[in-house]
Amino acid sequence: MNPRMAPRPLDGRLYTDPAVFGDEMERIFSRMWVCGGRLEELDEPGRFVTREIGGESIVAARTAPPEDDAGSNRPGSSEPGALGINGTPGGATRDLAAFYNVCRHRGARVVDECAGTARVFQCPYHAWTYGLDGRLIGAPHMGNDFDAGSAGLVPVRIGAMDGFFFLSLAADGPPLAEVSADLPDLSRFTLGRLVRGDRHEYEARANWKILCENYNECYHCAVVHPELNRVSDYRNSGNLETGRFFVGGPMTLNGGCNTMTATGQSNRPDLPAIEVADRTSVQYYHVYPNLLISLHRDYVMTHTLWPIEAGRTRIVCEWLFDPDTAAAPGFDPSDAVDFWHLVNSQDWDVCARTQLGVASRGYRPTAYEESEACVQVFDGWYLDQMGL
């Protein structure tokens, strides 16, 4: 099925209107599986993180040791062995749990930290105490008539795929397996076993869709990213690939280059299972709504986008490596990290510049350029989600 392609760049109010932003949180971020980050952050029982999704604070925690450390290596996979895939309607997978960060007594926020390790979660107001799985295990002086069994933290679905965890506020939404079945086969990048080599957090003064649109085209690369364009010419984009939950495709690297660093080279070995074509290209995918994943022969970079308000977005960028490479003496990811940190900063700059423009009454968008097909697909998908 051909995807809907937006006929022209989106109207300005879709990037600036707080009511539209609220609608997006409802129609997109509260309905879809949102990428929470890497499972590495929840690697041991008691490890937890909080995430802001659709205006809600959500706690995700590991309740028991991982049952299958390797997880699934293939986004297209739905094997039963995949880590916690297809979170149960109740919210708990076998070894992960997620819930609204809202006390069942009188509603106080329970957890303040972005991440940490806990044995229990205790509300700071009247000390109601919850287990890692959200069950109420202590409520001072509440007496025997009180039904503690029905007063656990309200569950949110959590699922795992290829070393990532995903959260869904939609209690009766589709299983995560539906997303994974739609994605291209990336098993050769062994995503499930990669480990984090570095992480940067940014805040861009731009709407989250402007960041997505910017990721989805390289028309701007020669102008905005001269360093990148020396390694990967902006005209070298390959076939557009698209599905219900993603858009993307490969870009071919310039002659003599085989990865994205300032020199186009690195001394890291290839990820163990990559194919010949991966030695001269990079794959870029946007998994809707908030995961951007860039796959190189020797490392993977991910961005997760966290909308704050219509004109502001938090971005978490992570660089993932093969565990053997990362454990080797002298491992140094800085060539990949510094290169993309520069490119990231250049991107957030032009995104902020665009946010200024779309807020103007003089904003009268005209047309996409041919190489912006992925942007047209993303914008078309967005219009569909919003019923526009």
User: Using CB under 5 A, which of the segments 38-46, 49-57, 249-257, 345-353 binds Fe ion?
Assistant: 345-353
CB of 128 vs ligand FES, minimal distance in Å: 4
Q: How far apart are CA 172 and CA 148, in angstroms?
A: 25
**Complex with ligand FES: residue 101 or 346, whichever CB lies closer:** 101
108 counts as binding ligand FES under rule CB under 6 A = yes
- Answer whether 210's CB lies under 8 Å from 358's CB: yes
Helix or strand run (H / E) with residue 319: strand 312-321
- Answer whether 91's CB lies under 8 Å from 153's CB: no
**Complex with ligand FES: residue 152 or 289, whichever CB lies closer:** 152
| Region at 127 (left for phi over 0; alpha for psi -120 to 50; beta for the rest) | left
Look at residue 318 and give the partner it binds from ligand FES, Fe ion, none, a contact being a CB closer than 5 to 8 Å depending on partner kind. Answer: none
Size of the site for ligand FES (CB under 6 A): 10
CB of 295 vs Fe ion, minimal distance in Å: 17
CB of 294 vs ligand FES, minimal distance in Å: 42
- Answer whether 201's CB lies under 8 Å from 314's CB: yes
Cα 30 off chain centre by: 14
Q: How far apart are CA 235 and CA 253, in angstroms?
A: 10
347 counts as binding Fe ion under rule CB under 5 A = yes
Among positions 14, 58, 60, 123, the unique one binding ligand FES when judged by CB under 6 A:
123
Q: Quote the DSSP letter at residue 218.
A: -
Look at residue 126 and give the partner it binds from Fe ion, ligand FES, none, a contact being a CB closer than 5 to 8 Å depending on partner kind. Answer: ligand FES
Q: How far apart are CA 335 and CA 313, in angstroms?
A: 26
**Complex with Fe ion: residue 21 or 234, whichever CB lies closer:** 234
CB of 54 vs Fe ion, minimal distance in Å: 27
Phi/psi for 320 (5° steps) reads -115, 140
Q: How far apart are CA 295 and CA 206, in angstroms?
A: 25
Cα dihedral 137→143→146→148 (10° resolution)? 10
CB of 224 vs Fe ion, minimal distance in Å: 6
Look at residue 106 and give the partner it binds from Fe ion, ligand FES, none, a contact being a CB closer than 5 to 8 Å depending on partner kind. Answer: ligand FES
103 counts as binding ligand FES under rule CB under 6 A = yes
Look at residue 125 and give the partner it binds from Fe ion, ligand FES, none, a contact being a CB closer than 5 to 8 Å depending on partner kind. Answer: ligand FES
Cα 274 off chain centre by: 23
CB of 211 vs Fe ion, minimal distance in Å: 10
**Complex with ligand FES: residue 123 or 251, whichever CB lies closer:** 123
Look at residue 128 and give the partner it binds from ligand FES, Fe ion, none, a contact being a CB closer than 5 to 8 Å depending on partner kind. Answer: ligand FES
Name the amino acid, one letter, at 194.
L
**Complex with ligand FES: residue 124 or 272, whichever CB lies closer:** 124
**Complex with ligand FES: residue 106 or 119, whichever CB lies closer:** 106
Look at residue 347 and give the partner it binds from Fe ion, ligand FES, none, a contact being a CB closer than 5 to 8 Å depending on partner kind. Answer: Fe ion
Contacts of 292 (CB under 8 A, 6+ apart): 212, 215, 284, 285, 286, 302, 303, 304, 305
Cα 211 off chain centre by: 13
**Complex with ligand FES: residue 70 or 108, whichever CB lies closer:** 108
Query: What are 136's strand-pairing partners?
Result: 130
Contacts of 63 (CB under 8 A, 6+ apart): 45, 92, 95, 96, 97, 131, 132, 133
Q: How far apart are CA 92 and CA 78, in angstroms?
A: 18
126 counts as binding ligand FES under rule CB under 6 A = yes
105 counts as binding ligand FES under rule CB under 6 A = yes
233 counts as binding Fe ion under rule CB under 5 A = no
User: Using CB under 6 A, which of the segments 123-131, 179-187, 346-354, 357-365 binds ligand FES?
Assistant: 123-131
146 counts as binding ligand FES under rule CB under 6 A = no
- Answer whether 88's CB lies under 8 Å from 50's CB: no
Chain positions contacting Fe ion, by CB under 5 A: 347
Chain positions contacting ligand FES, by CB under 6 A: 103, 105-108, 123, 125-128
